[in-house]
């Protein structure tokens, strides 16, 4: 319900019943927008472009095809961090903040199956264990878990889908314009508000391809975020996350890995039919080395749902325990 919204246009004078804040060039329009936001004459703004500082990224709101479910893509423009995994962890917070401001009390969170997704999962589960509660979603696939595949995105398995910004931008464009050939975005609410720990404005992004339905939805999105106290929500959620050790978790991520002082010797080879899933492909060989160090013979492989570590059936339980102690996400693989 947007009947109580007052829409102000920023741009050249035209025939309209809406209030106009006059500005005749793009630079003047941005300056006027900043002025109106600073003075509190407008509570939020929807624009085609904004130079967000590093640390700020936008949370898009897409509609799944077929089922018509709202999905918050965290994130779609901007840069939360130069470090990919750190950025995706922050994107998770940005998505949760936005969904909560939109009225979802306990939004479910899924992590798209991208490079680094398992490191993100490990970090988020540490944050959750430390007291910042995250409602991890569950994939619709047989192997479940909070790491999501393409069909989960299309079905909206989680309220918030965490991704890097470039992938999120791509998915936003696809989901909003797949019925029109790509040059006209006809569905969804646009690329969303810029979120960052120290960013206190509500500025939402559209693209030049955004059609009238998306523009209208984005204005409604902005209005709901104002009512949902978005800027206050940013402060509240980041305080909770920092109290749960967010800073230390991020520092650990950016530490340079220490090279082992001695070469790990491969244990005697044995038949390996036990499968361990959940390990990011980038960490697969490291997981094998960790097991070798504990005299457990292991091999890396690719199962039907992604990367796997293979061990003997007799060592399966022990191997999972060793990997978990070394901060790997490890579970017995489901039968395909």
| Span 5-25, pLDDT tens digits | 999 999 999 999 999 999 999
Q: Is the residue at 263 inside a domain?
A: no
Query: How far separated are the first and last CA of the chain, in Å rounded?
Result: 45
One domain, residues 67 and 207: yes
The pTM assigned to this predicted structure is 0.81
Q: Are residues 99 and 238 in the same domain?
A: yes
Q: Look at residue 257 and tell me if it is in a domain.
A: no
Residue 155: CB atoms within 10 Å: 17
Residue with tokens 């703004």: 45
Residue 163 sits at the vertex; the CA angle it makes with 336 and 238, to the nearest 5 degrees, is: 125
Q: Are residues 163 and 95 in the same domain?
A: yes
Task: Say how many domains are in the chain.
Answer: 3
pLDDT tens profile 186-243? 999 999 999 999 999 999 999 999 999 999 999 999 999 999 999 999 999 999 999 9
Cis omega (within 30 of 0) for bond into 180: no
265 located within any domain: no
The answer to whether residue 262 is domain-embedded is no
Is 336 noted as a catalytic residue in this protein? no
CATH of residue 130: 3.40.718.10
Is the same domain home to 151 and 25?
no
β-strands 135-136, 108-112 pairing: parallel
Residue 267 lies in a domain: no
The pLDDT value recorded for residue 305 is 59
In DSSP notation, 257-278 reads: PPPPSSPPPPPPP----EEEE-
Check whether residue 75 and residue 135 sit in a common domain.
Answer: yes
**6 and 151 co-located in one domain:** no
Contact 46, 53 (CB under 8 A): no
CATH number of the domain enclosing 304: 3.30.70.1530
Same domain, 95 and 204: yes
Q: Per the residue annotation, which of 45, 146, 304, 336 is the catalytic one?
A: 304
Q: Which of 7-11, 41-45, 180-184, 300-304 has the lowest mean pLDDT?
A: 300-304
Tell me the residue range of the domain where 12 lies: 1-42
**Which of 310, 301, 296 minimizes the C-alpha distance to 267?**
296
User: Per-residue pLDDT for 82 more than 90?
Assistant: no
User: pLDDT digit string (tens) for 275-334?
Assistant: 888 887 778 888 999 999 999 999 887 665 567 888 999 999 999 999 989 888 778 776
Tally of CB atoms within 10 A around 303: 16
Based on the fold, state whether residues 80 and 181 are members of the same structural domain: yes
């Amino acid at each position: 319900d947007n009947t109580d919204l007052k829409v102000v246009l920023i741009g050249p004078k035209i025939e309209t019943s809406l209030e106009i804040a006059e500005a005749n060039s793009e630079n003047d329009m941005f300056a006027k927008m900043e002025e109106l936001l600073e003075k509190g004459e407008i509570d939020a703004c929807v624009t085609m472009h904004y130079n967000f500082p590093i640390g700020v990224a936008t949370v898009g709101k897409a509609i799944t095809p077929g089922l018509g479910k709202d999905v918050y893509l965290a994130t779609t423009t901007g840069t939360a961090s130069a470090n990919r995994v750190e950025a995706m962890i922050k994107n998770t917070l940005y998505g949760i903040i936005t969904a909560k401001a939109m009225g979802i009390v306990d939004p479910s969170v899924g992590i798209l199956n991208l490079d680094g997704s398992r490191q993100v999962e490990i970090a988020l589960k540490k944050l959750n264990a430390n007291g910042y509660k995250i409602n991890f979603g569950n994939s619709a696939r047989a192997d479940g878990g909070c790491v999501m595949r393409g069909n989960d995105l299309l079905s909206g398995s989680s309220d918030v889908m965490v991704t890097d910004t470039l992938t999120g931008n791509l998915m936003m464009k696809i989901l909003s314009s797949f019925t029109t050939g790509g040059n006209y975005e006809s569905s969804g609410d646009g690329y969303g508000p810029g979120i960052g720990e120290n960013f206190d404005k509500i500025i939402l992004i559209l693209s030049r391809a955004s059609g009238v339905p998306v523009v209208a939805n984005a204005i409604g999105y902005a209005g709901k975020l104002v009512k949902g106290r978005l800027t206050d929500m940013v402060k509240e959620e980041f305080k909770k996350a920092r109290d749960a050790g967010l800073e230390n978790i991020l520092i650990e991520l950016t530490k340079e890995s220490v090279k082992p002082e001695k070469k790990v010797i491969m244990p005697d080879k044995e038949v390996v039919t036990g499968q361990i899933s959940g390990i990011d492909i980038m960490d697969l060989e490291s997981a094998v080395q960790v097991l070798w160090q504990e005299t457990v013979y292991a091999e890396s492989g690719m199962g039907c749902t992604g990367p796997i570590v293979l061990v003997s059936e007799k060592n399966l339980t022990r191997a999972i325990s060793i990997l978990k102690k070394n901060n790997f996400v490890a579970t017995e693989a489901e039968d395909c």
